[in-house]
Chains A and B, each alone.
Chain A
Amino acid sequence: MSSNASVLVDARRVAEAILFREARLLDHGNWSEWVAMYREDAVYWVPAWLDEYKTTQDPTTQVSLLYHASRRGLEERIARIESRKSITALPLPRTVHQISNLEARETGPCEISCQSVFAVHVYDPRVSKEHARYGSYQHTLTLDGGEWKIARKIITLANDNVATVLDFYSI
């Protein structure tokens, strides 16, 4: 039954729904619904660049821009913003996530791996300045109690010379 079920999965359609929903929740500041899309043991990783061509490969021996080995790290970041104590979020920038070039395939029973590219337009009303952050996403999605969840997300940020603040909502 399970092998039949996996054949019937439309990987691209599932991936598209998840990625677009994630983008919308981030742009709308709906953090609780956003973070609920992640498994509790989800890995959220933004590697750093070693030189012009290579990113870091091992978060235990190399420094990442962001690395969270579980959802708790993201929840802490959300709590920090919602506490209204972090000046980085007073006010929060407005963002628009655009995702394209999606490729998705089933990589195991109840597992979809997909890659896409993103551009996040960030407008900071605090200083009336705007930036674009762009790069690529690699998502690993797993079927968890009948629901597709994000098990792993790797964000390769192409323009890593960052202006002022880099947080989960702006990449």
Chain B
Amino acid sequence: MNNTQQGQATRLMAISKLIDDRPDEAIFQIDRRLFSDPDVFEAELRYIFEATWNFIGLESQISKPNDFVTTNIGRHPILLMRGTDGKIGAFLNTCRHRGTIVCPFKQGRQKFHVCRYHGWAYDSNGRNVSITEEASGQYPRSFSNENHDLIPVARLGSYRGFIFASLSPDVPPIDDFLGDARTFLDLIVDQSDTGEVEFVPGASTYTFDGNWKLQFENGLDYYHFSTTHSSYVDILKKRNVSAGPEAGFTSEPEDEQEGQGSFSFDYGHAVNWSIKRTQLYGRPLGVDPARLEAVRQRVGNARAKWMLRQRNLTIFPNLQVIDILSAQVRTWRPVAPDKTEMVSHCLAPVGESTAARTLRIRNYEDFFNASGLASSDDNVMYEFCQTGYEATTAGPTQGYLRGAAGVSRGNSVHTRELGINPREWSFGAPSFGGEANFYPGYREWRRLMERAAQEAKV
């Protein structure tokens, strides 16, 4: 091992230790530099985002041959497309010739993508079909022996219409990666009679001047809701006084114990959920009792009951799927230690009624994004946190111990009815809002960073 390797390994190991996780001593602390240090940020892009599975889109976004969307994995621009043969492919969106972005558009349908710089062309399966004036190019023989196709991602996988890709081949199969978190994708997909989900047209992109992990944490944080969103809660309570059946309110079974809980899974995933007798908002599935009954017949009582519960799912490192008054798919792209770009879509089961769809859209606009009445408050909070984290001499925050004394393993009434085996679970009063469900993400973060440190030595 040379000095540079040793230095890199030591540096990455030191970064991994910024998370102090000692469950036996009930210690979980995160150094504030995790949110602001440029070296940490650089390491996260390379060894987390660019080294594991990322959600990159829905199959229904590219439902027809030659459909494409563009996105990112970490810093890498990605071109996701369906080939002429119907096969889905994900490629680095960079021309083999001079590195130019091959497709500069958000989405569309094209059989060929021609680089605008020198005209090299690729088909929708990523194959190079033309090198401009190759014959007169006086290329060495080695050139024609080289492959000129777009570079595919190292791994591509899909679960029930959700497409994931990894730039590193060193990842578990997608089903193993998702594990029992898949059940919480099922709870959304199975709301559709045909088992399909789609994005409602009209995506939203916004930024906040804060670290991406503030969004990661917030999506698993029920503790903040009544404080941060109190102005929104006021509006909801006022509206609910006169809400009719069109608002889609549903109820829990009489014998159900109220509470708030979470499940933690391997590879960084976690889900938050609540069982509440008095709902703050209705659900699209609740608008149409006949359809709800049909879903119940299809998936059974237990799953139908869970479909009507608020569930905030985090698939580490870049995806949150929120199913409450509407459903949201949001992904983040870390831009800088203190800047994050969010892309947000309204997620919907294919085939729901017009009334359910319109309620879903209105509720989504109401709650989410920079223009929504709840998420906009979150965005400002992230910026307040980011500024506060500059107080590095204040030591670690006290934001990771709520629920630490109640973390459980094994089965519970809730795991049994869902038929899942989470790594850990928590359950408490409706006002619980535990923070131990942030652990899986941070443990995966540390695992990937330690792995990178080990590999740097070789």
Contacts and interface: CB of A to CB of B under 8 A. Distances in A.
A62 interface: yes
B288 to A, nearest CB: 16
Nearest to B373: A80
A60 B361 contact: yes
Interface in A40-67: 46-52, 56, 59-67
Interface residues of A, number: 37
Nearest to A79: B235
A64 B228 contact: no
Contact of A52 (B105, B230, B369, B370): B105
A10 interface: no
A56 B230 CA distance: 31
Interface residues of B, number: 41
Nearest to A81: B231
B380 interface: yes
A52 B103 CA distance: 13
Contacts of B240: none
Contacts of B232: 80, 86
Contacts of B280: none
A88 B207 contact: no
A112 B395 CA distance: 61
Interface in B85-104: none
A66 B209 contact: no
Given A83-B234, A87-B381, A160 B365 contact: no
A88 B376 contact: yes
A163 interface: yes
A163 B235 contact: no
B47 to A, nearest CB: 28
B361 A166 contact: no
Nearest to A58: B201
B371 A50 contact: no
Q: State the majority secondary structure of interface residues on A.
A: loop
A86 B228 CA distance: 7
Contacts of B370: 162-166
Contacts of B341: 161
Contacts of B365: 63-67
Contacts of A49: 202
Contacts of A86: 231-232, 373, 376-377
A77 interface: yes
Contacts, number: 124
Interface string B221-247: 000000010111011000000000000
A88 B228 CA distance: 10
A166 B372 CA distance: 8
Instruction: Among A62, A87, A126, find the residue whose CB has the most chain B CB atoms closer than 10 A.
Output: A87
Contact of A161 (B108, B201, B207, B209): B207
Interface in B75-122: 105-108
A167 interface: yes
B376 A166 contact: yes
B202 A164 contact: no
Interface string B347-372: 00000001001100110110001110
Nearest to A65: B371
B379 A165 contact: yes
B241 to A, nearest CB: 13
B377 A87 contact: yes
Given A79-B235, A85-B230, A164 B208 contact: yes
B201 A62 contact: yes
Contacts of B362: 67
Contacts of A64: 202, 361, 365
A59 B358 CA distance: 8
A163 B230 CA distance: 22
Given A126-B383, A164-B207, A166-B371, 17 more contacts: A50-B201, A56-B202, A60-B354, A60-B357, A61-B200, A61-B354, A63-B364, A64-B361, A77-B373, A80-B232, A85-B230, A86-B232, A86-B373, A88-B376, A162-B370, A164-B380, A165-B371
Interface of A: 46-52, 56, 59-67, 76-77, 79-80, 83, 85-88, 126-127, 129, 160-167
